[in-house]
Amino acid sequence: MTATRIHREVKPYLIGYSICVLIASGLFFWYTTPWYYPLAWFSAQVSLLLFTLYFFRYRDAALPEEFSSQSLLSPADGHVVALEPSLHEDLDALRLSIYLHGTDTHLIRIPCSGKVVNVTYHPGKHLVAFNPKSSLLNERLEVGIEHANGKIVTLTLVAGLLARRIKPYIKVGQEVHAGEELGYILLGSRVDMDIPNSFQPSVELNQEVFSSESILGDWS
């Protein structure tokens, strides 16, 4: 695996954190309080800062040597929780879902090179992300990528119970390459992939996968 870095999405949170610390420092300075009040507050803030930095960590893309133009990379860190027919009855496709725990990195990457043909945002509920119904009912972002073989892979970035923000980095018509950044989901969530049925998965249920490093399978 490559070296771990801190993603740029952390900047607004660090700015907010700094403002809170400055305001609280002023209050503790001007008003006399028992010594353990500021100690407890600053301890909590340090813990929050460390978790925030940990949450926004990520690695540079590291495509495996065996990756080919007919392969699909994992777009996310997490565990495979579904390998079944697509929930969309009009699609002859395999549904492959990856659940991201709160401790997984939440930077989503492009699974294959191609052209972005669809970016659609759907407002919705915030059910827990491991609930199968969350794929159709939760707030989500659908991204369609047309592969060079003409097949379209649809990724659905699903917000979870605590996730309130999905930020895409791509747009319709854009040419993308495997391993590039697709978007970011904040807190627990999942990524669903609808893949045309000629695809042969090489992963199993509950298997841990890593963004841009794990191969999900190949087209036959």
The span from the CA of 176 to the CA of 153, in Å, is 13
Burial letters 2-18, b for 16+ CB under 10 A, else e: eeeeebebeeebeeeee
Residue whose C-alpha is closest to residue 115's, from 138, 85, 146, 137: 146
The span from the CA of 177 to the CA of 158, in Å, is 22
Task: Tell me which of 189, 211, 212, 214 is the catalytic residue.
Answer: 189
Catalytic-residue membership of 189: yes
CB 130, CB 162: distance < 8 Å? no
Q: How many CB atoms lie within 10 A of CB 65?
A: 4
Burial (CB count <10 Å: 0-12, 13-18, 19+), residue 137: middle
CB 204, CB 80: distance < 8 Å? yes
Q: How many CB atoms lie within 10 A of CB 105?
A: 20
User: Any idea which residues carry the catalytic annotation?
Assistant: 189
